[in-house]
Structure 1
Amino acid sequence: MIKPGCWTVAPRILIVDDEKTIRLILRRILHKDGYQVIEANNGEQCLEICQKQLADMVLLDAMMPEMDGFTCCAKLHQLLGENSPPVLMITVLDDQASVDLAFQVGATDYITKPIHWAVLRQRVRRLLQTQWAMRELRRQIEKERMLSEKLEKANQELERLASLDSLTMIANRRNFEKFIESEWKRSYKNGLPLSIIMCDVDFFKAYNDTYGHQAGDTCLKKIADLIVQNVNRSPDLVARYGGEEFVVVLPETDLQGAVYVAEKICKSIKDAAIVHQGSKISNCVTVSCGVATRTSLSWNTDSNSQPSDLIKEADSALYEAKSQGRNRVYSYSIN
């Protein structure tokens, strides 16, 4: 049910899907939770409805004829900018490129088909609560626009909300991408090492299947807290990369230092003894970590590289860690 004290009227959710059956099922589920529902069967109708500011959030199918969901989402942000409603992308695609593209075009979150209805309801509720908080904050900013000190404080809070993952309350993917870009330029300019750690929860799908998605969310919050506890410096960043993946950025840190942090993370999570009977390697939750480092010497030899190259190397290292049995750290240094 809708959380009382937030929306004065039931939020309006726009369902965009070319399949009538899917729209019918979604409408029944959302109506049951007290939401108003608007429907569109293609991208053009979605854009028309949103320009009239009739939707508080959009459930958008990624794969539609004529205009797919990715194109529709990108056009929506081009037309409305900051006034765009949050978009929950629904897709049959679960590959990394499709996930990256969904965030790139402006989707707030995504969920894959076949849809797990309990997960859908939780994510809709969370996005609407965040949307309500953002609207209230904007209203307060407008009300106090003549008070420059309060206006500045509210703007900072708005920025903070937009940069956090709504579940774990650590930095979100967009915040990470801005941060790594900035640190990449700074490290290159000053010839300093830069490291990142990619962390993936081992057999997390099995955890959700065994204990349920609500327990899975609680598990992810605990893991985020444990990672933060092991990353002690203020210049460092811990972010949720997507799903059960986390990323740590370590400026001015060489490979040895980054591996040390990654090993601390692995150990602390295993020591937390979060029961995981669905794991194939342990009776508790574990993580695998991939580490990649851009050394101070490498800036002069490969000046055309990009932050995405370092991310790919960390992802490759993570793949190796998982291939070698999981619950371990694998490192890669770009010399």
Structure 2
Amino acid sequence: MNNLVLSIDDDNDILRLISQILNGSGYNVITADKAVDALRILEEKKPDIILLDVNMPDINGIDLLKQIKSRKIFQDIPVIMVTVESDINTLKLAFDAGAVDYITKPIKAVELIVRVSSMLKLKKEMDVRKEREQRLAEITRELAVKNRILKGLSFIDELTGIGNRRLFDMILEKEWKRAKRYLQPISLIIIDIDYFKNFNDTYGHLKGDDCLKTVAKVLSKTIKRPSDIVARYGGEEFAVILPDTNEENAVKLAEDMRIGIENLNITHISSEIKILTISLGVASVIPNQNLEMSFLILLADRALYDAKNNGRNCVKVASLNDIFKTKIG
């Protein structure tokens, strides 16, 4: 496809001469002898290059150039000024307005062809470069999105869709530090599916996976605040981090979770009560300089141990008074 040249000049003899020269060199030329016609043509047909007379009767050529360059869709079109003048100030104004070159009247055929050809070649190279830069920017954006997704996935348990152990460790450390700074309580619930190994052995691993997903869904629906986090702690164990939550409220939430699973009435013939249940251990402390985060986990583990050794399907609580027993137990 031949390049399209828009020639703007109030002198029709100049327009005919430019058309004759450039048409003979394989270019398609459209002409305008008024600024209003030039702007209309620009809207209808986006030319590859513009030849613009500096002195127009209805509007100064430089002012017209400024109008053209003010439109984003026209900013990449190279403009060569055509002038009888070679005044430095005039040319400076033209270049400042966005012109890339100029030719003087009277028009010389060889000079016109060379300058138009050179500018179009440069424009093509710039268009290719711009396209590459746009593609690179697009690829960069795509990679950024994928990296965010991958980062998110690295904190998500693939089976259940809730947080994984990595997320649990990160959030617990952050919330522990916050609780210590503001002297606020923090609670932890550790949950175990009762007789899960027997469930797997009886119904198969696919049903076992469905069981894990169901439990995760119920636990996630039971928490009420965005700051509360449910995570898969490992195997059939889950953990719930409850910032700024005292023991009473943590126990109440744990009981709601226990009831939520029990009310599903999922058959579990290998369980003592023949339906799926969970055991929950609750620990709640206000961190201080003498208390390590690991104590909270040890307490919740101790409480879960008590729940499993007291008939399962129940909620048990461990307090700071149990730390010594936890250490030696």
| Band of TM-score, shorter chain | 0.5 to 0.7
- RMSD of aligned residue pairs (Cα, Å): 1.7
Q: Which residue of 1 aligns with 2:201?
A: 209
Displacement of 1:332 in angstroms is 1.9
Displacement of 1:146 in angstroms is 5.8
Match of 1:279 among 253, 271, 281: 271
Dislocated runs of 4+, deviation >4 Å:
143-151
- Counterpart AA for 1:312: L
Q: Which residue of 1 aligns with 2:301?
A: 315
Q: How does 1:296-315 map to 2 (within 5 A)?
A: 299=288, 303-315=289-301
Q: Which residue of 2 aligns with 1:236?
A: 228
Contact persistence 1:144–1:150 (CA under 8 A): no
Displacement of 1:308 in angstroms is 1.5
Q: Which residue of 2 aligns with 1:193?
A: 185
1:259 aligns with 2:245: no
Contact persistence 1:289–1:330 (CA under 8 A): yes
Greater CA deviation, 242-251 or 150-159?
A: 150-159
- Cα distance in 1 for residues equivalent to 2:209 and 2:268: 14
Contact persistence 1:144–1:151 (CA under 8 A): no
Q: Which residue of 1 aligns with 2:281?
A: 290
Displacement of 1:266 in angstroms is 0.2
- Counterpart AA for 2:284: T
- Counterpart AA for 2:176: W
Gaps of 5+ in 1: 1-142
- Cα distance in 1 for residues equivalent to 2:301 and 2:179: 21
Partner secondary structure for residue 241 of structure 1: strand
Q: How does 1:76-91 map to 2 (within 5 A)?
A: none
- Counterpart AA for 2:186: L
TM-score by length of 2: 0.54
Displacement of 1:317 in angstroms is 0.3
The alignment covers a number of residue pairs equal to 187
Q: How does 1:54-69 map to 2 (within 5 A)?
A: none
Question: Max radius of gyration: which structure?
Answer: 2
- Cα distance in 2 for residues equivalent to 1:292 and 1:144: 52
Contact persistence 1:195–1:293 (CA under 8 A): yes
Partner secondary structure for residue 326 of structure 1: coil
Contact persistence 1:255–1:333 (CA under 8 A): no
- Counterpart AA for 1:176: F
- Counterpart AA for 1:259: V
Q: Which residue of 1 aligns with 2:311?
A: 325
- Counterpart AA for 1:285: L
- Cα distance in 1 for residues equivalent to 2:143 and 2:197: 44
Listed one character per residue, the Cα deviations across residues 242-292 of structure 1 (whole Å, up to 9, x for unaligned) are 110000000000000100110000000000111100002x11100000000
- Cα distance in 2 for residues equivalent to 1:277 and 1:144: 59
1:154 aligns with 2:146: yes
- Cα distance in 2 for residues equivalent to 1:203 and 1:145: 53
- Cα distance in 2 for residues equivalent to 1:152 and 1:189: 34
Displacement of 1:153 in angstroms is 3.0
Displacement of 1:237 in angstroms is 0.6
Q: Which residue of 2 aligns with 1:134?
A: none
- Percent of pairs identical after alignment? 43
- Cα distance in 2 for residues equivalent to 1:334 and 1:237: 23
Q: Which residue of 1 aligns with 2:169?
A: 177
Partner secondary structure for residue 275 of structure 1: coil
- Counterpart AA for 2:152: R
- Cα distance in 2 for residues equivalent to 1:227 and 1:144: 44
Name the CA shift for 1:155/1:321 in 2 (closer, same or farther; >3 Å). Answer: same
Displacement of 1:147 in angstroms is 5.9
Partner secondary structure for residue 163 of structure 1: coil
- Cα distance in 2 for residues equivalent to 1:183 and 1:150: 32
Listed one character per residue, the Cα deviations across residues 134-190 of structure 1 (whole Å, up to 9, x for unaligned) are xxxxxxxxx866666544433221111111111101000011001101111111011
Gaps of 5+ in 2: 1-134, 322-329
- Counterpart AA for 1:174: R
TM-score by length of 1: 0.53
- Counterpart AA for 1:167: L
- Cα distance in 1 for residues equivalent to 2:199 and 2:235: 13
- Counterpart AA for 1:290: G
Name the CA shift for 1:322/1:152 in 2 (closer, same or farther; >3 Å). Answer: same
Displacement of 1:307 in angstroms is 1.7
